[in-house]
Amino acid sequence: MKDYTETEPHATRPPKRNVSQGIKSLAVLFVLGSASAVAGLFMVDSSGQPAHGTAVAATPPPLAVTLLSATDMTDSTALVHQTGTLKSRQTLTDLVVSLGANHQDANGALQTLYSGDLLDARRLHPGLTAEAYLDGERLKALSIRAEADRSLLITRSQDGNWEATALNARLTPSVHRIAASIETSIYDTARRLGAGDQQVVDFANAFAYDVDFQREIHPGDQFEIVYETYVDERGTPVKSGDVIFASLNGQALSRDFYRFTPSDDQVPDYFDSKGESATKFLMKTPINGARLSSSFGKRRHPISGYTRLHKGTDFAAPSGTPVFAAGHGVVVRASRYGGYGNYVKIKHANGYETAYAHLSRYGRGMKSGERVRQGDIIGYVGSTGASTGPHLHYEVYIKGTPMNAMRLKLPTGRKLAETPAVLEEFAVKKAEIDQIRASQGADIGQALLVSASTGRH
């Protein structure tokens, strides 16, 4: 069991069973969190010492451990092992019942997790794996794969009570680099090279203030992503972590970003080679995956027929697509507003205001006076008011004057040069990341040459 450590025992676990009362051995079953089920079986004597060696498994290390006493296994009926994954809108109880357990056992076993704060029922996601060991409809043990590196184990004691334990993998941090020319999209290319969805999202977030990914990324543009990974003791990747370096060299932009947490404010951010934050005062587009359907400027209104100033930018997107606050601020209006339909207006610093119209519904807690942070969901795309189809109408005002959001030169975020000691810390971190990149095939010297020739630093 060297691969995993028991770190979160249930606070009210019943006293340990007395193995001297006729129990001559324990069978320890390794549950793998996959349909392949059992990796190995070994016996321990009454003192708890191994009686036989562990079988070598061809699968990754175990993710949960089930303790079943020998007396639990004296029945001639073999335990049935069932595995299933949580589906959309399915409860965990329903999943365990679908594996063959009765409702009483399923509820009792899972309640041990909830009461022990080992699992938050509100944070369950489709795809979660459960494994049940059954004697008929009687549940004997249950393993829940809560996360890639964490499993929850529930076993039934001899007195019929349930015991729960969290088992965490011992992981070693590592780093992985991918780099390529874009073929169809950054997402498709990065995923094909092994990056996960979260790494692509982190990459996009770093460039969200500079690039419109729906319109300004072209085949042949080059990108590089360096991100954290975690491997088990066999070197098998278990999960991925933060993107620590992101680079884009394309028609619209050529820029590099390094992830760095300044010691003075402890707020992680992405900074370019000069120590200037990727974060800007406002996001360029407050919506993902949308198509620009109408630009700022004079146009013939599609409903009234009159030619007048279109004071914002329209983004066509499916109804229900999340709309984000473009920057930190205070909501000054979140209500129906004539032809704008469901409407939100946010007041930002320095005389800036942003407005979002035709929403199908509002984000949670959205009301006048509410403080929001950049990236908070303030509503969802709809077609309320004077609208011919689902889209977001987005407006930016500076001191009451409507501006073209797509052409604004927005104030930048933090500049580390204003804090020399922190800039020195960043230089050390940047050098560490560049060394990692070089060790994985990046031509740092060539990158610096390109930076100089294009005006990047």
pLDDT of res. 323: 92
pLDDT of res. 32: 31
Q: Is the pLDDT of residue 447 over 90?
A: no
CA distance 277 to 268: 10
CATH for the 4-169 domain, from 3.90.1150.10, 3.40.50.10800, 3.10.450.350, 3.40.50.720: 3.10.450.350
74/115: higher pLDDT: 115
Q: Kindly report the pTM of this predicted structure.
A: 0.54
Sign of CA dihedral 266, 421, 226, 321: positive
pLDDT of res. 435: 94
> Measured between alpha carbons, how far is residue 41 from residues 37, 149, 170 in Å?
12, 22, 21
347/282: higher pLDDT: 347
For the chain, the residue count is 457
- Listed by start position, the domains of the chain span 4-169, 175-280+416-454, 291-407
Averaged pLDDT of the chain? 75
pLDDT of res. 117: 76
Neighbours of 159 (CB within 10 A): 7
Share of the chain above pLDDT 70, in %: 74
> Measured between alpha carbons, how far is residue 392 from residues 204, 209, 233, 422 in Å?
20, 18, 49, 40
pLDDT of res. 14: 35
| Model confidence pLDDT, tens digit, residues 219-272 | 899 999 999 988 877 777 777 889 999 999 988 889 999 999 998 878 789 999
CA distance 111 to 163: 10
Asked if 293 contacts 308 with a C-beta cutoff of 8 angstroms, the reply is: no
pLDDT band at 214; cut points 50, 70, 90: low
CA distance 372 to 350: 16
pLDDT band at 410; cut points 50, 70, 90: confident
Asked if 88 contacts 190 with a C-beta cutoff of 8 angstroms, the reply is: no
Measure CA 171 to chain center.
19
> 3-state DSSP call for residue 199?
helix
Which residues does residue 447 pair with via DSSP β-bridges, in sequence order?
none
Q: Is the pLDDT of residue 213 over 80?
A: no
DSSP state of 160: S
Q: Is the pLDDT of residue 135 over 60?
A: yes
pLDDT of res. 23: 24
Which residues does residue 280 pair with via DSSP β-bridges, in sequence order?
412
pLDDT of res. 244: 95
CATH fold for the domain made of 175-280+416-454: Nuclear Transport Factor 2; Chain: A, (3.10.450)
CATH for the 291-407 domain, from 3.90.320.10, 1.10.10.1400, 2.70.70.10, 3.30.1360.120: 2.70.70.10
Query: Two tokens at 365?
Result: 């807690």
Average pLDDT (309-323) is 82
> Measured between alpha carbons, how far is residue 369 from residues 282, 345, 399 in Å?
19, 11, 19
Place of tokens 């009686």: 51
Q: Quick one: which of 436, 429, 431 has its CA closest to 179?
A: 436
pLDDT band at 314; cut points 50, 70, 90: confident
Query: Two tokens at 128?
Result: 């979660």
**What is the H or E stretch that residue 271 is in?**
strand 269-271
Do 4-169 and 175-280+416-454 show the same overall fold? yes
Q: Quick one: which of 100, 117, 92, 108 has its CA closest to 154?
A: 108
- What b-and-e string marks burial along 382-395, b requiring 16 or more CB atoms within 10 Å of the CB? bbbbbbeebbbbbb
292/379: higher pLDDT: 379
pLDDT band at 287; cut points 50, 70, 90: confident
Backbone angles phi, psi at 317, to 5 degrees: -160, 160
402/388: higher pLDDT: 402
175/78: higher pLDDT: 175
Q: Is the pLDDT of residue 20 over 50?
A: no
Q: Is the pLDDT of residue 217 over 60?
A: yes
3-state secondary structure labels for all residues of 274-298? CCEECCECCCCCCCCCCEEEECCEE
pLDDT of res. 240: 83
Q: Is the pLDDT of residue 446 over 70?
A: no
β-strands 64-69, 371-372: how paired? unpaired
pLDDT of res. 259: 95
Average pLDDT (317-329) is 89
394 Cβ neighbours under 8 A, 6+ residues apart: 285, 286, 287, 312, 313, 314, 315, 326, 354, 355, 356, 357, 405
pLDDT band at 369; cut points 50, 70, 90: very high
| Model confidence pLDDT, tens digit, residues 33-78 | 332 332 222 223 333 333 333 322 223 333 333 344 333 444 445 7
pLDDT of res. 53: 31
Q: Is the pLDDT of residue 121 over 80?
A: no
CA distance 70 to 44: 10
Average pLDDT (189-210) is 86
pLDDT of res. 290: 55
